[in-house]
Structure 1
Amino acid sequence: MHLRKSKLGAACQLALLCMAGQAVAQSDGAPADEARTVRVAGHYDNAVGTSDAASQGVITTDLIVNRPALRTGELLEFVPGMIVTQHSGDGKANQYFLRGFNLDHGTDFATFVDGMPVNMRTHAHGHGYSDLNFLIPELVQRIDYKKGPYYAGEGDFASAGAARIRLMDKLPQGTASLSVGQHGYTRGVLADAFAAMRGTLLYGLELNRNDGPWDSPERVRKYSGVLRYSQGTQDDGFSLTGMAYKNSWNSTDQIPLRAVESGEAGRYGALDPSDGGDTSRYSLAYAMRKRSDNRLFEFDAYVIRSQLDLYSNFTYFLANPGLGDQFQQSERRTVAGVNTSVSWQTEQAGFAMRNKLGVQGRYDKLSPVGLYGTEERVRHSTVREDRVREGSVGLTAENSTQWLPWLRSVAGVRYDAYRFNVASSIAGNSGKANDGITSPKLSLIVGPWSKTEFFANYGKGFHSNDARGTTQTRLPDGSASSPVTPLVPTKGMELGARTEWLPGLQSSLALWRLDIASELLFVGDAGETEPSRASRRHGIEWNNHYIAAPWLLFDLDLAASRSRYTQSDPAGNFIPGSIDKVASFGVTLTDQGPWSAAFHLRYFGPRPLVEDNSVRSASTTLAYARLGYQLNRQSRVSLDVFNLFDKRASDIDYYYTSRLPGEAAEGVEDRHFHPVEPRSVRLTLAYAF
């Protein structure tokens, strides 16, 4: 969600913008004879010799299960430098921050689960919308993350980075757990895997209830299920996975500071208690890997059916003093896609090479996607309603060559072609559009020397724009508008180093820059397109993992960035919401007899809320803690504490105009904030069978 004080209703802008458990891993581009041992106390597959950039890495389940998380979306906070927050109810996609971006609900960061895209393009609430609430965290095997547009295999939304989440095929043992906490929180999980028809059948179920600390109870009602059949291994086998998810909730959205200071609303109060929503997601995915001699064939196919009805009111009585400004964003979507690739190793002129060719196809059908005026969730008007067909094909080629024992290159290119077809309720906005874009990539990896290697990365990428903006000639109020560029190019570069010179310490440093030709924005809440200026972001990241002892792990991640529009404007050149400082510190303690513990501290710094930087958010520092005790071979109890120091801070801040009852018709510019949840405790009893 990205608000500009100059735009009415721009609350949530639609931006138009290896295998876990292996003893040996290898970067996607490295020849087989260059593979090196990588496991670091079971938590990371990030050792020297395993990646193509200093900012690339892998998180395994061992770390995921040992760190407390308030929300499912916080899985992405394992990506160094990533911040995950929420400005609304917990049935809605989270708010993400990384590398100087307020990523809104996922724009410019691509997320996948077993090859299925999570980012929803031309979404009712925000282009690139990434809702991870359908995941059951206990079934996540690993998270492969990349940053920057340097990888031929990553296309739309991946300019800032990408994360590929892999689910488990098997479980070491069945598990049943029950969690209870304050504010009506209960969560139950049941999962197991067993032999079936020469393969393995895995199932997982999750039920969740939560009212939260809000004056208007959140009443989350969440159901998730996974059923997976697999044969063979992840490198030579197949899997068929069905997933189902349904959720409904009430929202306490951000509120104006003046309402709290006057006593009109409490810190955890809602100005429109009828806000909220319901959503569902059902998917079926097939994945196959076939290895023969020096060749690997990969094939993924998926179909997803999802729906969302979301009710929000961010300006209260500014646009409609009689009925209020609540609106409904609604969509019904079907997504189908195929990813296939073949890679092989060869030798040319004495140089070991690995080549890879791939095709990625995706088709989205929205019937319809709409924006409606509502009062207490009852429609009274249609702002716009569209039926959209959006298809894309990406062709990828990549070559990795070992030129010298200390020099390797990865050169790649991808070509993406898009076709948009829009049937709109607004005359003049229906039509078709096409676009294509070529994105070259190059990485150089030097070393290692003294267990240290160096990286130079360059790449062009892109983000697509909302399909409705590509054919739009009229705004909902009837005024003229110009179609936007369907595919917006981005360009990034990075210099980095990774070292294991000090025993037990794995450290990486990256200097990066990212340019975006235009941060074109489709304002979903107002139903119109708003072009923005070109921008540049650059920064530094320093990530550290220290194994002090086999039972003690320390993590320290630091990031700083600078974000500016590159085209000067009297309004100012700061990018609202752009994050400039992030710090994360963690301690994980295991195998101390029956005891275990974890502590995680995260900090994200103040951000400009308007272009001239005259209004800034405060910083936010939060701490989570966990204490676990193994009762016996099968039973375990753990206590999680969130917001350990009970900080009164904001999950997110905005600055824009809203109107409360009795205020002037033009409204009041004010800071609007969504508070972090107060200190809360959750107790979990887990039983292994």
Structure 2
Amino acid sequence: MLLGISWAQAQTGHLPEIEVRGPRDASIGTANSASEGAVERESYQSRPKLRPGDIVEAVPGVVATQHSGDGKANQYFLRGFNLDHGTDFAMWVGGMPVNMPTHGHGQGWADLNFLIPELVSGVSYRKGPYFVQNGDFSLAGSASMDYFSALDAPFAELTLGADNYRRLLAAGSRTVDDQTWMAALELQGSDGPWQVPENLRKANAVLRYSQGSQSRGFNVTGMAYKSDWTATDQVPQRLIDAGQLDRYGSLNASDGGNTRRLSLSGQWFDKSPQGQTQASAYAIDYRMDLFSDFTYFLNNPQLGDQFEQADRRRVFGAQASHSRPNTIGGQSGILSFGAQWRGDRIGNVSLYNTQLRQRHDTVRDDKVSQDLFSVYGEQLVQFSDRWRGYLGLRGDLLRYDVLGREPVYGPGNSGNGSDSILTPKAGLVFTVTPEQELYLNAGTGYHSNDVRGATITVDPQSGLPAERVPALVKGRGAEAGWRYSPGEQLSLTTALWMLDLDSELVYLGDAGTTEAGRPSARRGIEATLRWAPSSQWRFELDGALSRARFRGQAPEGGGNHIDNAIETAVSAGVIWTRGPLMATLRLRYMGPRALDTTNTVRSSATTLLNFGSRYAVNKHLTLGLDVFNLAGSQGNDIEYYYASCTAGEVASGACGSGIDDRHIHPMEPRTVRVNARWTF
């Protein structure tokens, strides 16, 4: 039984497979917590996706939005966090990490725009710091995705939509004996609803070779992605209210960027009754140039506040793990252990002040090298037919070297060092009946800080002394959960959780400095429902309530609310299938949240309703229709509260030290897309 549990967990982690199927949801007898699982393929493939990153909304409690152009990483929310672009939410695709440490824009940057959703074979997730396999960026949770190794049949799909949206996807595979080649090509362009056309141009390609069987095999995957775009960043609400700016207008038509990602990865596995072994390695070549302007003319009334963030890096990594059955004190168990290494060779991570994308001042220009070495072990024991539990320990060592090349403050902000951390994990499961289980989990985890904050001595903007920050920050979490699953038709889970962080330190890529944060505490409750009363109907409902506060005495004039921390998230979906027709309706609600630490300013709530349908005309042709924002809601994808000044406000003398205001990025209006797929 225990070996079956271990293999089910390995499947959830997406071992490279030849068989065309996805992982089953974690269920009675296999799950070790209430908040881990695998999303059923019918759920994430049927839902309309405005952007590739929307696929992570299939993870219960996750909200993915956008506050800039569609070439930029999504904004993520989960468990009382505004995760920015990925901090504290680790993502993996095809055995490769997506999050970028010491990134030009923000720590943990997780850009999923290279993902091709139609190729995703499975989405597995874990929430909380209770799992030894998960390290950096996984305090709130993690999601792992992989691609099919083989497709049912080759196909070509064309999608057209409003605002000059067009997308072409072609994919196919060929198998001879136990050897399979799979390839896909995606081309996409769009102007979006913005008054300044987005002019998105995107090219994406995947090539995978796989060989083997269900018991032993490997794959090698190459990916190539390139995108450039013009962005409409968030704009002040005061200008919209005064009729001076349209909701979809821009204050800087030269914002935007370009990015490129090339990768080569390999995965190998061996499964036998004596144990299971996995190994993988990857190499990534990545670059990004991002031009943003959030404060307009506040800091530089003559040239404006636009800035460029540049990132050039190569990422190398490898990992291996092994699990095997054993006996502890006469009780059956499974021993699992593994090792991981990731090395980032960042040739250029820089911040420049710009005007119309032309550099006129260098704030930071650094060369960084960092390595993260990790080892872990876990012992799972089946105490009886009704009790099982595990103990685990993970160790991480981070080494880093920062070379500052900006001539004034660069030498003083250079340096090297190391940091290490041990994070124990534990879980206990009680099988109440064959249909329901109770879970208790606890553990410590961590996230890394931008290592430039660990070597900084001088604020590059002001020249004043700056305080260094720890490279690794610990968090502690616990969770009690319940799962009820009387059969494949119904699954219900609930979880009460808590998470405390030693600090909320954030490296500000927009300023080149580290913002000191206080210790924090988060508490919440989550519930999920999956119900398929018949072969035609499937219902899904997720709800999450969170409370996020700073700990300790608030500074004078401040409060203890964590600004922009999500408080309420509800999502619901229904899928109806009858013969060749499939239709789905998806609703997402994100409640109001504090925009400042005193909770004086709160965001508005947003409700988004999407519709999708597919009709198989015959065995070759399938037609589709997606309607995003079906109700035409005028909600906002994101809201911030800070000070800014426009050129007009500077000229009129109304600027002063800045005008505090909401800054919003609106949800896209009702948008229709049609597609046709031809299967060969």
TM-score range, shorter chain: over 0.9
Of 291, 299, 304, which residue of structure 1 is paired with 2:279?
A: 299
SS at match of 2:648: coil
- Give CA-to-partner distance per residue, 1:21-46, whole Å, 9 cap, x none: x999634699xxxxxxxxxx989523
Question: What residue is the counterpart of 2:632 in the other structure?
Answer: 646
CA distance in 1, matches of 2:27, 2:130: 19
- Give CA-to-partner distance per residue, 1:308-354, whole Å, 9 cap, x none: 00000000000110110000000101000001111111234431111
CA distance in 1, matches of 2:487, 2:99: 39
SS at match of 1:26: helix
> Within 5 Å, which residues of 2 pair with 1:154-233?
154-196=134-176, 198-233=178-213
> Within 5 Å, which residues of 2 pair with 1:95-134?
95-134=75-114
- Check if 1:544 corresponds to 2:526: no
Are the counterparts in 2 of residues 43 and 62 from structure 1 also a CA contact under 8 Å? no
Question: What residue is the counterpart of 2:491 in the other structure?
Answer: 506
CA distance in 1, matches of 2:361, 2:109: 25
Matching residue's letter, 1:80:
P
- Give CA-to-partner distance per residue, 1:93-123, whole Å, 9 cap, x none: 0000000000000000000012110000000
Are the counterparts in 2 of residues 230 and 239 from structure 1 also a CA contact under 8 Å? yes
- Check if 1:529 corresponds to 2:514: yes
- Check if 1:487 corresponds to 2:472: yes
TM-score (norm 2): 0.95
Question: What residue is the counterpart of 1:687 in the other structure?
Answer: 678
SS at match of 1:662: helix
Structure 1 pair 492–24 and aligned structure 2 pair: CA distance change class (3 A) = closer
Aligned length: 658
Are the counterparts in 2 of residues 27 and 52 from structure 1 also a CA contact under 8 Å? no
- Check if 1:266 corresponds to 2:242: no
- Give CA-to-partner distance per residue, 1:519-573, whole Å, 9 cap, x none: 1111111111111000000100010000110121000001101000012213000
Of 567, 581, 606, which residue of structure 1 is paired with 2:568?
A: 581
**CA drift at 1:177:** 0.4
Question: What residue is the counterpart of 1:5 in the other structure?
Answer: none
**CA drift at 1:234:** 5.6
- Check if 1:427 corresponds to 2:402: no
Are the counterparts in 1 of residues 254 and 357 from structure 2 also a CA contact under 8 Å? yes
Moved more, 499-508 or 49-58: 499-508
- Check if 1:657 corresponds to 2:637: no
Matching residue's letter, 2:185:
L
Question: What residue is the counterpart of 2:16 in the other structure?
Answer: none
- Give CA-to-partner distance per residue, 1:112-148, whole Å, 9 cap, x none: 0121100000000000000000011111000110000
SS at match of 1:483: coil
Are the counterparts in 2 of residues 29 and 400 from structure 1 also a CA contact under 8 Å? no
Are the counterparts in 1 of residues 388 and 430 from structure 2 also a CA contact under 8 Å? yes
Question: What residue is the counterpart of 1:623 in the other structure?
Answer: 609
CA distance in 2, matches of 1:62, 1:587: 11
Question: What residue is the counterpart of 1:3 in the other structure?
Answer: none
**CA drift at 1:295:** 1.6
CA distance in 1, matches of 2:456, 2:106: 17
Structure 1 pair 440–375 and aligned structure 2 pair: CA distance change class (3 A) = same
Uncovered stretches (5+) of structure 1, i.e. residues with no partner: 1-17, 31-40
**CA drift at 1:595:** 1.4
Matching residue's letter, 2:607:
T
- Check if 1:464 corresponds to 2:466: no
Question: What residue is the counterpart of 1:337 in the other structure?
Answer: 317
Structure 1 pair 684–23 and aligned structure 2 pair: CA distance change class (3 A) = farther
CA distance in 2, matches of 1:641, 1:622: 11
SS at match of 1:138: helix
CA distance in 2, matches of 1:311, 1:113: 27
Matching residue's letter, 1:202:
M
SS at match of 2:532: strand
Coordinate RMSD, CA, aligned: 1.8
Matching residue's letter, 2:8:
Q
CA distance in 2, matches of 1:381, 1:129: 24
> Within 5 Å, which residues of 2 pair with 1:71-82?
71-82=51-62
Question: What residue is the counterpart of 1:632 in the other structure?
Answer: 618
- Check if 1:614 corresponds to 2:614: no
TM-score (norm 1): 0.93
Structure 1 pair 167–28 and aligned structure 2 pair: CA distance change class (3 A) = closer
Identity of aligned residues (%): 44
- Check if 1:359 corresponds to 2:339: yes
CA distance in 2, matches of 1:211, 1:503: 43
Structure 1 pair 145–235 and aligned structure 2 pair: CA distance change class (3 A) = farther
CA distance in 2, matches of 1:370, 1:679: 38
Are the counterparts in 2 of residues 25 and 50 from structure 1 also a CA contact under 8 Å? no
Are the counterparts in 2 of residues 49 and 448 from structure 1 also a CA contact under 8 Å? no
- Check if 1:252 corresponds to 2:243: no
Structure 1 pair 400–43 and aligned structure 2 pair: CA distance change class (3 A) = closer
Moved more, 494-503 or 127-136: 494-503
SS at match of 1:77: helix
CA distance in 2, matches of 1:86, 1:44: 30
Uncovered stretches (5+) of structure 2, i.e. residues with no partner: 13-20, 650-654
SS at match of 2:345: strand
CA distance in 1, matches of 2:537, 2:594: 38
Question: What residue is the counterpart of 2:652 in the other structure?
Answer: none
Matching residue's letter, 2:478:
M
**CA drift at 1:602:** 0.5
Question: What residue is the counterpart of 2:66 in the other structure?
Answer: 86
Question: What residue is the counterpart of 2:132 in the other structure?
Answer: 152
Of 368, 372, 388, which residue of structure 2 is paired with 1:408?
A: 388
Moved over 3 A (4+): 22-25, 27-30, 41-44
Are the counterparts in 2 of residues 627 and 640 from structure 1 also a CA contact under 8 Å? yes
Bigger RCO (CA 8 Å, 6+ sep): 1
CA distance in 2, matches of 1:78, 1:650: 21
Moved more, 625-634 or 348-357: 348-357
Of 26, 34, 46, which residue of structure 1 is paired with 2:8?
A: 26
Are the counterparts in 2 of residues 29 and 399 from structure 1 also a CA contact under 8 Å? no
- Give CA-to-partner distance per residue, 1:585-634, whole Å, 9 cap, x none: 000112x1221100100001001000000000000000000122111111
- Check if 1:317 corresponds to 2:297: yes
Structure 1 pair 422–234 and aligned structure 2 pair: CA distance change class (3 A) = farther
- Give CA-to-partner distance per residue, 1:464-506, whole Å, 9 cap, x none: 1101001001111211012101110000000000002488321
Are the counterparts in 2 of residues 124 and 524 from structure 1 also a CA contact under 8 Å? yes
- Check if 1:443 corresponds to 2:427: yes
Matching residue's letter, 1:439:
T
CA distance in 2, matches of 1:268, 1:547: 40
Moved more, 75-84 or 286-295: 286-295
Are the counterparts in 2 of residues 26 and 49 from structure 1 also a CA contact under 8 Å? no
CA distance in 2, matches of 1:447, 1:211: 53
CA distance in 1, matches of 2:133, 2:315: 20
Of 505, 515, 531, which residue of structure 1 is paired with 2:500?
A: 515
Question: What residue is the counterpart of 1:596 in the other structure?
Answer: 582
Structure 1 pair 120–23 and aligned structure 2 pair: CA distance change class (3 A) = closer
Structure 1 pair 25–418 and aligned structure 2 pair: CA distance change class (3 A) = closer
- Give CA-to-partner distance per residue, 1:418-446, whole Å, 9 cap, x none: 01100012231111011100000000011
CA distance in 2, matches of 1:136, 1:29: 21
- Check if 1:566 corresponds to 2:551: yes
Matching residue's letter, 1:180:
L
Structure 1 pair 582–43 and aligned structure 2 pair: CA distance change class (3 A) = farther
Matching residue's letter, 1:573:
N
